Structure 1
Amino acid sequence: MFCTALIACLPVAANLADQPLCQVWVASAMQKVFQDEAPPGSAEKVLRLSAARGEREAAQIVLRPSHKAQLVNVKVSDLQAGRGVRLGAEAIAIYRVAYIHLPAHGRKYPDPLPPLRLPVDLEPNQNQPLWVSIEVPRDARPGQYRGEIELEMTGGERHLIPIQLRVWSFEIPLKPSMRTAFGLWGDGIARHHGVSSQSGSHRKLMQRYWELLVSRRISPFSIPVDIFSPEAGKYLSDPRLTSFIIPYSDDEAQLRRTVDHLRQGGWLEKGYFYVVDEPVTREQYDRLVEVCQRIQRIDPSLKIVSPYFRNPDFDPEKRPEVLLDGQVNIWCPVTPFFQPDLLRERQQRGEEVWWYVCCGPGKPYANFFVDMDGIDHRILFWQQKMFGVQGLLYWNTIWWDPNSTQDPWEDIATVKNINPQVYGDGSLVYPGKRAGVYGPVTSIRLELICDGTEDYEYLTLYEKEFGATATQEAIRELTRSLTEFEKDPKRLEAVRERIARALDARHSRR
């Protein structure tokens, strides 16, 4: 049956010509479709996706009218896979791709994904993509599903987009196999939604931002309530949460109470301390050692991270791994400063290895900047599996500091004090008030990061079934180092499809 997703009533007008008012085609989620780019010579007309159970997959439908028009109605059908086997239309979400001007490039780039609201104004000879996301239930029956999306334009013109979804027999685990630690600070949320940071409204907003991130397989630095709150358990026990910052205090008695509370709840294993960031001075190193020793007096097994990006000022010939040996036990270099052999030794001692990106590195490394290719946001997770890195840290997801940007919808140069031509650093989510959303608005980059974490799960499952050598061979088809990687989304999709078919065949025989 059809589910009418959204309807807007407009007067029906006759088409201005016999030819279609609007060109419509399908594009990969990894393709950043610019408003002014020409339609492809051989346009894809079918929305084809494949996904594991428990996975979220997306593609884009691009609309390009010959003159000013509106999208006035969208209908989404259930997806059928034989008699009585279906995925309801409610599993499909549609977003409008929005654009932000980047002054250094002199053009607009796609990134925000506000929920689709009708009508959508369409400008002549400009592309307007729709982001179509399908969330496959964990209990979905494997098989080939078919359905369709109907788009109605001004004047009654309709376009039917067939959907073909292959659901694999294997499942993406609810508990992520890799650790993530992404910042989620509340001040910007309060400011952009016009609420007090001490209000119940702010707490509800924080819960919605937190839920968006964990639904995309990302663990925020903190939970949206105090860890001693009666509600804390439901967040800390959530299997989607892989990590959280343990609140630190120089008061050793208070610190011990916090650790004991988390241990009694069974949550301590997920927790880590993050007190000193990117130390380079003698004072910062001394402070970090002081903190580490205080924590270790309580329990030497407690996890401590301190991201670093270079050798210290006071001893430029020595790496942090040497100076902080016996102190830090989660090693977290920025990706260009990553030393595989050295950090592999630390893993063999039972210590963890994470890495991070922030306002650097830029190209040719992978990062999460708005003006990077879509595949750049995903390939980092293939590189993470290639090097055996256990976690990814990212300093913020909502850096809307008024000293850098008053409104991320208009200005996404978030770290002007460092580099005014870095776009989107620390800002993966948009405040929803402008889009009529009481909460966050996701982005293309966040969705592709989620896809990257799912790629990591495919590789982890593949490694368990077929071994490390086969997995590394598959990875090397796409990336051979942190600066050498495939730029064609079709190549990534092809390798991923081959991995999925192998896993599907193995699971289907069980």
Structure 2
Amino acid sequence: MRNPIIPIALLFAIWSLGARAAAGPSPWGVAAAGSWGTIWTSSPLVKRMQDTPAPNNPAKGVRLYAAGNEYEPFQLILTPKKPLSNIKIVPHTLVGPKSAKIEVWNITVKNVEYVNCTEPTSEDVKPGLYPDPLPDHTPFPAQPGRNSAVWVTVYVARNIPAGDYRGTIDVIGGGIGKVAVPLSVHVWNFTLPSVSRLRTAYGNSMSWPFIYNNATTLEQRRKVVDLYNLNFWKHRVSPYAPYWGYDIGVTAQDGTVKLDFSDFDVAIAKYFPWFNSFKLPRFGMNDNVGFEGGDAERMKIDYMRLVAEHLVDKGVLNKGYNYITDEPEEKDYDAVVEAAKLVRMADQRIKILLTEHIADKLIGSVDIWVPIGPEYNEQQAKARQAKGEQVWWYLCCGPHHPWPNYFIDYPAIDLRMWHWMTWRYGLDGILYWDTCYWQDNPWQKPMSQPDHRKWNWGNGDGHLLYPATRTPSKTFIAKGPVDSIRWETIRDGIEDWDYFRILKDRIDAAPASKRNSTEYKPAQDALARVNGCIRSFTDYCKDPAEAESIRFAVAKAIEGIK
């Protein structure tokens, strides 16, 4: 007996007619319903809880918009009325202009899992099960009255013809049969860069992945590093140290420093083209590179000089930064200034990064200022940028709401708006202290704490990724990390920033006489809407539909400038 459902064929036909032009983001809603329950679609900007009610409005399938070389996600949610078994989500190739295709292998499906946040990050959020881990899709049972969600991402390849691509994604299982949900992607006529111009520096403490993957040999660890670097690249994020396991060999004899770059050069060739920044190895002021005695300071200068010269020869020093120290107190400023002098003696081209607000005493000793969000001062930042310095910023265990942050129990749109804020205030980059700080098993305990356990940092603080296994493996496994909703949202935010950058560049490339013309008004208006969405650091767009509408307007404006 066939299940009574909303006629998908009819929906598909109506929807296909309306999908021939980029008319605007279609509403999310119910894609199919029957005696077995409801299948509904959702924006990735909303975290759907297990008890979130299904919407009442129908949706004409899923309609996405993406540039070339972009990843575009959505959520597909099943809310059963009765127990269902062996639920599988099966995407199909999407066909577009002149039989061009978005191949099925460019459509990934991941299960949405939940972690139990028993202690809220801040008083304004509730404890409970929050969606975050995104393991690879495997068939699952679905229980009545409880949402079962999947996260679907469509990757649009570079240089694919612009236009509309259509197909279906099937929901198959015991008690439901097969339901085909229409899926459409409108591809814009521009392409995103593979390496974003928004600089990023995210911690990648590989010691924890090595434990969970049981990677004990150098060969095994390099394989894990390879998989993690690939994941970072696909998410447009630069890790602190993409060169884990490819150390620079250092020897010192009679005060002469000699370096062996044979391993490090392998990492340069393999990984550095993927990223726009990296931490210069062992340059920090508290690392003496193993040198001892009264000549240690001079040898550290020689080490930094030799590394810098080699990286200049390789054409990558401009991506490097000397993370000289972390969050110094004012009493430590003199030591920072003295350490910076040694760096300048080694090579004037080395850029010094400091996670601290702009302070008069430190001017001249810092090239990349990275204040925590609430300590960002726009007037000071613009003044330093006018001098050729960069200003990034960061969040960590604070601030809490009403600021956005990376916490599991904060809304998804908050983290997306963090990147819009970065654009709005003209910052050059974003830093985050770690992605896999797994002091506790993140599958079991999402709350992060310092070593002494005297206070909480926040749910998910320092772990944006999950281990490949639920507990440390007893044998080596060659797997990368499990993504999270927050990690996916970071990529979306970076892609947003690239949209804004592309549009601004096209406006700036026009003759001054044309920039305020009727032809360029939609472009100027679109960027004004982006900035208008960020009213302050604590007052920003919370409505997913508004954010999606603005992003659509930006893309249309890019297409409109010839």
Compute the TM-score of the two structures, normalised by the length of structure 2. 0.81
Deviations 1:424-462 (A, max 9, x none): 111111001239972201110010100000000110111
How much has 1:15 moved relative to structure 2? 7.8
Pick from 303, 307, 331: which aligns with 2:355? 307
1:214 aligned residue: 233
2:187 aligned residue: 167
How much has 1:156 moved relative to structure 2? 5.2
How much has 1:476 moved relative to structure 2? 2.8
SS in 1 for 2:335: helix
Is the contact made by 2:527 and 2:554 (CA closer than 8 Å) also made in structure 1?
A: no
Residue 530 (structure 2) pairs with residue 475 (structure 1):
yes
The alignment's C-alpha RMSD in Å is: 2.2
How much has 1:69 moved relative to structure 2? 1.7
1:296 aligned residue: 344
Q: How does 1:101-250 map to 2 (within 5 A)?
A: 101-104=116-119, 105-118=126-139, 120-155=140-175, 157-196=177-216, 198-224=217-243, 225-226=246-247, 228=261, 229=263, 230-235=265-270, 237-238=272-273, 240-247=274-281, 248=283, 249=289, 250=297
Is the contact made by 2:448 and 2:457 (CA closer than 8 Å) also made in structure 1?
A: no
Pick from 447, 450, 460: which aligns with 2:491? 450
1:6 aligned residue: none
Supply the distance in 2 between the matched residues of 1:158 and 1:237 (Cα, whole angstroms).
Answer: 45
Identity of aligned residues (%): 31
Greater CA drift, 71-80 or 422-431: 71-80
- Change beyond 3 A, Cα 1:451–1:499: same
Is the contact made by 1:458 and 1:499 (CA closer than 8 Å) also made in structure 2?
A: yes
SS in 2 for 1:503: helix
1:430 aligned residue: 466
SS in 1 for 2:326: coil
2:482 aligned residue: 441
How much has 1:252 moved relative to structure 2? 1.7
2:84 aligned residue: 69
How much has 1:300 moved relative to structure 2? 2.2
2:251 aligned residue: none
How much has 1:376 moved relative to structure 2? 0.6
Supply the distance in 2 between the matched residues of 1:499 and 1:505 (Cα, whole angstroms).
Answer: 10
Q: How does 1:50-61 map to 2 (within 5 A)?
A: 50-61=65-76
Letter in structure 2 aligned against 1:374: A
Residue 391 (structure 2) pairs with residue 356 (structure 1):
no
Supply the distance in 2 between the matched residues of 1:471 and 1:353 (Cα, whole angstroms).
Answer: 25
Supply the distance in 2 between the matched residues of 1:157 and 1:449 (Cα, whole angstroms).
Answer: 36
SS in 2 for 1:440: coil
How much has 1:380 moved relative to structure 2? 1.0
- Change beyond 3 A, Cα 1:396–1:495: same
- Change beyond 3 A, Cα 1:236–1:266: farther
How much has 1:190 moved relative to structure 2? 1.4
Is the contact made by 2:229 and 2:271 (CA closer than 8 Å) also made in structure 1?
A: no
How much has 1:285 moved relative to structure 2? 2.3
How much has 1:186 moved relative to structure 2? 1.3
2:312 aligned residue: 263
- Change beyond 3 A, Cα 1:25–1:200: same
- Change beyond 3 A, Cα 1:45–1:193: farther
How much has 1:46 moved relative to structure 2? 1.2
Residue 96 (structure 2) pairs with residue 93 (structure 1):
no
SS in 2 for 1:135: strand
Is the contact made by 2:435 and 2:463 (CA closer than 8 Å) also made in structure 1?
A: yes
Greater CA drift, 227-236 or 21-30: 227-236
Letter in structure 1 aligned against 2:129: K
Pick from 416, 428, 437: which aligns with 1:378? 416
2:541 aligned residue: 486
Is the contact made by 1:25 and 1:45 (CA closer than 8 Å) also made in structure 2?
A: no
Supply the distance in 1 between the matched residues of 2:322 and 2:270 (Cα, whole angstroms).
Answer: 18
Deviations 1:79-117 (A, max 9, x none): 011442221111100000010000123310000100101
Letter in structure 1 aligned against 2:161: R
Supply the distance in 1 between the matched residues of 2:526 and 2:82 (Cα, whole angstroms).
Answer: 49
Greater CA drift, 273-282 or 149-158: 149-158
Is the contact made by 2:46 and 2:412 (CA closer than 8 Å) also made in structure 1?
A: yes
Letter in structure 1 aligned against 2:443: W
Deviations 1:394-414 (A, max 9, x none): 01000112xxx2x10111111
Q: How many residues align?
A: 477
Is the contact made by 1:463 and 1:471 (CA closer than 8 Å) also made in structure 2?
A: no
How much has 1:36 moved relative to structure 2? 1.1
How much has 1:16 moved relative to structure 2? 13
Is the contact made by 2:500 and 2:527 (CA closer than 8 Å) also made in structure 1?
A: no
Deviations 1:268-300 (A, max 9, x none): 000000131000152x32332222111101222
Supply the distance in 2 between the matched residues of 1:83 and 1:327 (Cα, whole angstroms).
Answer: 57
- Change beyond 3 A, Cα 1:348–1:52: same
How much has 1:420 moved relative to structure 2? 2.4
Greater CA drift, 209-218 or 76-85: 76-85
Pick from 552, 555, 558: which aligns with 1:497? 552
Supply the distance in 2 between the matched residues of 1:236 and 1:151 (Cα, whole angstroms).
Answer: 38
- Change beyond 3 A, Cα 1:437–1:16: farther
How much has 1:236 moved relative to structure 2? 5.0
1:336 aligned residue: 374
SS in 1 for 2:324: coil
Compute the TM-score of the two structures, normalised by the length of structure 1. 0.89
How much has 1:381 moved relative to structure 2? 1.1
Letter in structure 2 aligned against 1:214: W
How much has 1:263 moved relative to structure 2? 1.1
2:512 aligned residue: none
Pick from 448, 454, 464: which aligns with 1:414? 448
Unaligned runs of 5+ in 2: 6-32, 120-125, 249-260, 284-288, 290-296, 472-476, 509-522
1:314 aligned residue: none
How much has 1:71 moved relative to structure 2? 3.6
- Change beyond 3 A, Cα 1:237–1:398: closer
Greater CA drift, 258-267 or 486-495: 258-267
Residue 100 (structure 2) pairs with residue 80 (structure 1):
no
